[in-house]
Amino acid sequence: MQTSMWGITQSVAVRLKWPGAILLTLALSMPAFAALGGDEASVEADRAQMNATVEVTKADNYSVHEMKTSTGVIREYVSSDGRVFGVAWSGQFIPDMRQLLGTYFQQYSAGVKAQHDAGPGRRPLSIQQPNLVVVNTGHMRSFRGRAYDPGLLPQGVAATAVR
Amino acid sequence: MRSFSIFVIVGSLVFLSACSNNGTPSGVPITVSVSATPTTLNPGQTSTLTASVTNTSNTGVTWSISPNVGTLSSTTSNPTTYTAPATISATTPITITATSAASSSSSSSARVAVLGPTVSLSISGTPAAPQTVNLGGTLDITATPLNTGSTAVAWSLSGVGSLSGSSGSSITYSAPIAGPGTATITATSGSGTTIGTGKLEVTVLASGAGANVAGLTVGTGPVPYANGVLTSVLVCAGGSTTNCQTVDSVLVDTGSYGLRVLGSQIAELALNPVNYTDGSQINECVQFLDGSFLWGGVYAADVYIGSEVASGVPVQVIANPTGFSIPTTCSNGGTNEDTQATLAANGIIGVGAEPFDCGTACDPTGGNSSPPAPAYYASCTSSGGCQPVFASCGSECNDSLPLQQVTNPVVAFSTDNQGTAISMTAPAGGAAPTATGTLTFGIGSQSNNALPSNDTILELTAGFDEFQTSGLGTAPPLLASFIDSGSNGLFFPNWLSLTICSDNTDFYCSTAGPVTVLNTSEVNGTSGSATFSVADADTLFSNTSNEAFTNLAGPEQAGSTPAACANNNGTLSGDCTFDFGFPFFYGQTIFTGIDGQVVSGPVAPTTPFVAY
């Protein structure tokens, strides 16, 4: 067992604890993580996980579920047929991307790595793929960004609606 | 004298989960704390280790040391004595651990450093960090040999300037009268296996050098880094003037707060961790706009920059943990920058407009019922894994707990602590292999850091440190603009219809400008213009020798159209930004006034603010 001067030596395997509230279980195959690409129930899962209040605003063929915590805001954009097609965030911290991007998370992670591998230099995150767009900017204690699947945008709804 | 008091008690404990039995009927955790006196030893010297154990009647402990260098007088008596080995080839930090006899998972450690052969350099009695000096200026340097078996010192110089001699315990360095550049002064003592050296880097400037000034460079780092602005610092173990290491190539970042250093670059330092009152070590995860992250423990250090010192300031030591993985809520799908290659630097010194890297959101008295999740600060114990926890920002947050959050070193200086001024010489022709400049500490505290009355002064939104930018094309204002030396370009929404590079969509590949925009404070409405130009990034990057670029810019993609920056009901939202990155610093002086600090003098805006 190697002791690193800077790390902590563990003599037993450690199980990580997820922060936040226990997720609601509403249906048989409730996704633990959800949002983008998920259904409306997954929005409720996110809200519970974040311990947030939610306010719903209806537009023509989609609704915006805005969740506020003491440190920021997350908006989830849900089409009339109950599909989350976009998410946006603004606040002191970058949100839990696994929670927010669901099945798109691995693709997001690969996009972050690709941008990092392109060369040193802090610049806004930009992932522009046919089925996933993720952008993020800001600085320590203040970040804002958005993610959407262009293929899931409802009829007549522009990508700029996700904000 | 320390500006901040750090909780010296070091310990860890078994926590209240169902996982383990702490061995006391009441369930109150057993805590161990250890103190070592002294913490810096020469070979053969001793340190007294004392452990105290609470919440149990069994006060016995078992001691161990790591690495297995030196000896303990007893592994069970309390106190015990650690004796450093009679000889050591290089300075080695030793971790001495006391484990409670009542609970094998309750333990605590203290760190001592055994000094190898070395020469400690000082200026005016203070450990010498890399210095700046003007043309024709001088520096008086004193060498103290340690464990070299000799008091004789030999001096040598590489670079510009000259030394007053080649031997003796003190020497004067004279900068040339023409030709700015750099110099390294080396003091050597001893011979054979006990030879020791000390080195001092000096930056000779045409003007602007001083005790409250550190040198800045672009293009001198370990890897090519376009517009990566770097400085050097001296880091010492808290309270020690001999257990110190110089760290070069530290990114100077006005968009973040606190010093973060690769653990590999300070392997000789016996830093003590900053712990919670329950004794567990504080670890931290910070993330950046591009999705990258840093994980590491929080330690107390004395940080020397120029002739300033931040005593006992919490810093983050970037290092991967052993025995468990970085929580996935920290990595968050991003890139771990735990090496020189991935960070492109040896560390980051965050000297932005906030004193702490989290603030009240992470503070236990900040009004939140639980700490931020995903975790920013985490308590990682020896058996329970990582939990998000609060971390105190101390008296400045009206919290009586000791300071635990990683802290902007500037606020920990005893003077010159109001903020900074960065001046950068623009590369001729807009592109060059290197660029130089200065980082001056203090605002209105010295003759060289007065805030000009005709500057544009923007008071910033507290915590977010942002302002508005208007006049970019015909679009509405951008509501979350910021000035950030750590961003390597100007990043703004493409409302000027520039071409985005086909081979690298992070940058613009057309020329534009000069473009003038108006920056307005959201606090008091004062405004001032800012002018910039854009160059074709492909052209800039085609000369692979160049790293300093005045007109490097790229898109901020969220604002692809002005409509994307408005709220759903048509009002303006804060979603779109103008990131005035490092190109904005070339050819001018940018002041950053830190939230909570007070600037006095004829020009005294309320912090936080930026001015240019």
pLDDT digits (tens, 9 = 90+) for B503-539: 999 999 999 989 999 999 999 999 999 999 999 999 9
Chain A residue with the nearest C-alpha to that of B562? A160
Q: Say if residues B580 and B530 touch (Cβ distance below 8 Å).
A: yes
Query: Can you give the pLDDT at residue B5?
Result: 41
Residue A40 is predicted with a pLDDT of 84
Examine residue A32 and state whether it is found in any structural domain, yes or no: no
Distance CA A115, CA A94 (A): 17
- Which of chain A's residues have a Cβ under 8 Å away from the Cβ of B354? 140-141
A20 domain residue, yes or no: no
Tell me what the mean pLDDT of segment B595-604 comes to.
Answer: 96
Does B204 touch chain A if contact means CB atoms closer than 8 Å? Answer: no
- Give residue B289's identity as a one-letter amino acid code: L
Average pLDDT of the residues in B387-397: 92
* Overall average pLDDT of the B390-400 stretch: 93
Reply yes or no on whether the pLDDT at A4 is more than 50: no
Asked if residue B187 lies in contact with residue B158, where contact means CB atoms within 8 angstroms, the answer is: no
pLDDT at B105: 79
B68 pLDDT more than 90: yes
Task: Say if A6 falls within a structural domain.
Answer: no
- In 3-state terms, what secondary structure has residue B50? strand
Q: Which domain covers residue A111, as residue numbers?
A: 40-161
Please state which of the ranges B190-199, B279-288, B362-371, B381-390 shows the lowest mean pLDDT. B381-390
Q: Roughly how many angstroms between the first and final C-alpha of chain B, as a whole number?
A: 34
Strongest mean pLDDT among B288-297, B467-476, B564-573: B288-297
A142 lies within 8 A of chain B by CB: yes
Rg of chain A (C-alpha set)? 17
Q: A151: helix, coil or strand? A: helix
Q: What is the DSSP string of B148-199?
A: SS----EEEEEESSEES-SBSSEEEEE--SS--EEEEEEEEE--GGG-EEEE
Question: What residues contact residue B308 under an 8 Å CB cut-off, 6+ apart?
Answer: B211, B212, B413, B416, B441
pLDDT band at B560 (very low <50, low <70, confident <90, very high): low
Judged by a CB distance cut-off of 8 A, whether residue B565 touches chain A is: yes
Q: pLDDT of B421-449, one tens digit each? A: 999 999 999 999 999 999 999 999 999 99
Question: pLDDT digits over B256-279, tens only?
Answer: 999 999 999 999 999 999 988 767
Per-residue pLDDT tens digits for B473-514? 777 788 899 999 999 999 999 889 999 999 999 999 999 989
In chain B, what residues touch A68 (CB-CB under 8 Å)? none
Residue A109 placed within a domain: yes
Tell if the CB–CB gap between A142 and B466 is shorter than 8 Å: yes
Domain-embedded: residue A3: no
Does residue B296 sit at the A interface (CB-CB below 8 Å)? yes
Distance separating alpha carbons of residues B481 and B328, to the nearest angstrom: 30
Which H or E run contains B83?
strand B80-83
Q: How many domains does chain A have?
A: 1
pLDDT at A25: 33
C-beta of residue B28 within 8 angstroms of C-beta of residue B43 = no
Chain B residues inside the 8 Å CB shell of A87: none
Using CB atoms, which residue from A125, A139, A160 is nearest to B564? A160
Q: Do B385 and A70 make contact, defined as CB atoms within 8 angstroms?
A: no
Q: Out of A57, A98, A122, whose CB is closest to B487?
A: A122
pLDDT in tens, A95-106: 999 999 999 999
Task: Say if strands B170-174 and B467-470 run parallel, antiparallel, or are unpaired.
Answer: unpaired
pLDDT above 90 for B22: no
Least CB–CB distance from B289: residue in A1, A13, A143: A143
CB contacts of A59 in chain B (<8 Å) are 568
Helix (DSSP H) and strand (DSSP E) numbers for chain A: 3, 7
pLDDT at residue B275, as a whole number: 85
Across chain B, mean pLDDT equals 91
Which residues in chain B (219-238) have CB-CB distances under 8 A to chain A? 223-228
Q: Once rounded to an integer, what is the mean pLDDT over residues B349-370?
A: 95
pLDDT at res. A46: 82
Q: Does A22 touch chain B (CB under 8 A)?
A: no
At B117, list the tokens. 């052969």
* Alpha carbon distance B32, B55 (integer Å): 9
Residue A51 scores a pLDDT above 90: no
Cβ of residue A68 closer than 8 Å to a chain B Cβ: no
Distance from CA of A26 to the nearest CA of B (A): 23
pLDDT of res. A28: 34
| Stated pTM of the model | 0.91
Three-state SS sequence of A42-63: HHHHHHHHHCCEEEEEECCCEE
More confident residue, B236 or A24: B236
Q: Do A121 and B488 touch (CB under 8 A)?
A: yes
Subunit contact B291:A125, Cβ cutoff 8 A: yes
Shortest CA distance to A160 belongs to which of B496, B481, B480, B567? Answer: B567
Given the DSSP bridges, would you call strands B579-580 and B478-483 parallel, antiparallel or unpaired? parallel
Q: Is B16 at the interface with chain A, CB within 8 A?
A: no
> How far A29 CA lies from chain B's nearest CA (Å)?
23
* CA-based nearest residue in chain B for residue A57: B568
Q: Confirm or reject contact between B570 and chain A (CB < 8 A).
A: no
Which residues in chain B have their CB less than 8 angstroms from residue A93's CB?
287, 361, 372, 374, 376
**pLDDT given for residue B396 in this prediction:** 87
> Which residue among A12, A125, A141 places its CB closest to the CB of B359?
A141
- Taking an 8 Å cut-off on Cβ atoms, the answer to whether B322 and A124 are in contact is no
**What number is the average pLDDT over the span B378-407?**
88
- Pick the more confident residue, B160 or B564: B160
Does A1 reside within a domain?
Answer: no
Structural domain includes residue A75: yes
Confidence of residue B559 (pLDDT cuts 50, 70, 90): low
B 434-463: CB under 8 A from A: 463
- Whether the per-residue pLDDT at B32 is higher than 70: the answer is yes
A48 occurs within a structural domain: yes
Best mutation target among A137, A146, A153, A162 (most B Cβ atoms within 10 Å) is: A137
Buried b (16+ CB within 10 A) or exposed e, B204-218: bbeebbbbbbbbbbb
- Out of A19, A108, A120, closest to residue B373 by CB: A19
Surface of A (38-67) touching B: CB under 8 A: 51, 57, 59, 64
